[in-house]
Amino acid sequence: MSTSTRVKCLLVDDLEENLLALGGLLRRDDVEVLQARSGGEALEMLLLHDVALAFVDVQMPEMDGFELAELMRGMERTRHVPIIFVTAGVRDQHRLFKGYDAGAVDFLYKPLEPHVLRNKAEVFFQLYRQKQQLAQQLHELTETLRLNEMFTAVLGHDLRNPLSAILTSADLLHRRTTDEAVRKAAGRMLSSGKRMGRMIEDVLDLARARLAGGISLKRGETDFGQLVHRMVQEHQAAFPQHRIEVLQEGNLVGDWDSDRLAQVASNLIGNALQHGDAGEPVQIRLDGTHGDFVLFSVANLGAIPPELKGSLFDPFRGGQRQRGRSEGLGLGLYIVQQIILAHQGSVNVHDGSGRHTVFRVEIPRQGRDVIKL
């Protein structure tokens, strides 16, 4: 949007000669001057036009300038319109306070100095143009982001079919060949293909959370304890040098999406194994002693750098630090958060005893899915 965009300025005065004089000083090619002879007429114009600035005479019959300003501040459409009061009265401190309380940004006293009037008005005209320009840029950036996320969703969806064919072929090759070198190559293809599949699913979950208003759930009776033990066995096989301890108590059954909670457990356990100190076990606690909710926590030795704490649940936060080649896209904790929010639960992270990082999840046993509008 060009800085020469035409802006509108409203003049409110019950005297025609004052309107003509003010209009003559302010009117130019990039400024449209609107004129109102009363407060009521001014309110009607404000409902039809977006104005950058309003010059309001203080002394008017029926509705004075202060009353008009208070009405403008009470309406959402006109709440932020800058108001400069114009008055022929003496400089009265009480009137000044009353005017500023009503919403004025400045006072001008008659007779008006043309140079001062134009300079004050130009400040607000430029601010209005900048505001409009920023709003347009925000709209364009939002639309670009939406299109990028749609493209990501479509691409992620379409990549699954060729990847499935590659994994099937690699598995067949791995099982049928007797050549050890070929078996190793096929095994690497399977491992890399499965990791790529997890990345694609992460990207699709990101798109679902952003475009569909949240991750959808398929609820059913789920034993959180059994689910976590299954995830522990899988991760223990992948990280044999690490120890994982599980402490559980109480009833761990609830109405949840078992596949999604398996994602939560897997991501948090994997995160603790990757970033924790291998010299001390990852500690998992499951507390089902509460009637309405279950608590789940994962703790590992090692503190989170202070500069990362505020962005841990942001997608692609991995760009803030050096990541290993074997790691994912930095979506794991974001997806954990979205899944728990879909269950109407909460997830947070804190330092345990100053040396540990603890992720703590609280999830209601029963819940209703959020309706997507």
- Kindly report whether the global pTM for this prediction surpasses the value 0.75: no
| CATH number assigned to the domain comprising residue 206 | 1.10.287
Average pLDDT over residues 307-311: 75
Average pLDDT over residues 171-197: 86
Q: Is there a contact between 316 and 331 (Cβ–Cβ < 8 Å)? A: yes
Q: Which pLDDT band holds residue 360 (cuts at 50, 70, 90)?
A: very high
| pLDDT score for 95 | 60
| pLDDT score for 347 | 93
Q: Is it the case that residue 253 has pLDDT exceeding 90?
A: yes
Distance from C-alpha of 363 to C-alpha of 256, rounded to nearest angstrom: 9
Tell me, yes or no, whether 185 and 245 share the same domain. Answer: no
Residue that wins the pLDDT comparison between 36 and 104: 36
| Those residues with Cβ within 8 angstroms of residue 111's Cβ, 6 or more apart along the chain or in another chain | none
Nearest one of 273, 280, 268 to 228, comparing CA atoms: 268
Nearest one of 238, 155, 242 to 199, comparing CA atoms: 155
| CATH number assigned to the domain comprising residue 356 | 3.30.565.10
Tell me, yes or no, whether 360 and 252 share the same domain. Answer: yes
Highest mean pLDDT among 96-105, 275-284, 302-311, 327-336: 275-284
Q: Would you say residue 291 lies in a domain?
A: yes
Least confident of 179-183, 236-240, 260-264, 292-296: 236-240
Q: Would you say residue 90 lies in a domain?
A: yes
Residue that wins the pLDDT comparison between 62 and 11: 11
- Domain boundary pick from 66, 90, 112: 112
Q: Would you say residue 137 lies in a domain?
A: no
Tell me, yes or no, whether 349 and 249 share the same domain. Answer: yes
Q: What's the chain's average pLDDT?
A: 83
In DSSP terms, 32 is beta-bridged to 8
Q: Is there a contact between 356 and 301 (Cβ–Cβ < 8 Å)? A: yes
Q: Would you say residue 372 lies in a domain?
A: no
pLDDT 10s digits, 133-179: 998 888 888 787 777 767 776 776 677 778 888 888 888 988 888 88
Highest mean pLDDT among 93-97, 286-290, 363-367: 286-290
Tell me, yes or no, whether 342 and 251 share the same domain. Answer: yes
- Domain boundary pick from 55, 89, 112: 112
Q: Would you say residue 309 lies in a domain?
A: yes
Q: Which own/partner contact pairs does 143-149 have at CB distance under 8 Å and 24+ positions apart?
A: 146/211, 149/206, 149/207, 149/210, 149/211
Q: Would you say residue 238 lies in a domain?
A: yes
> Based on the structure, what is the number of domains in the chain?
3
Q: Which domain holds residue 201?
A: 146-211
Q: Is it the case that residue 60 has pLDDT exceeding 70?
A: yes
| Those residues with Cβ within 8 angstroms of residue 55's Cβ, 6 or more apart along the chain or in another chain | 9, 10, 11, 12, 13, 22, 84, 86, 108, 121
Average pLDDT over residues 320-330: 49
| CATH number assigned to the domain comprising residue 79 | 3.40.50.2300
Average pLDDT over residues 173-201: 85
Residue that wins the pLDDT comparison between 315 and 95: 315
Tell me, yes or no, whether 198 and 236 share the same domain. Answer: no
Residue that wins the pLDDT comparison between 211 and 266: 266
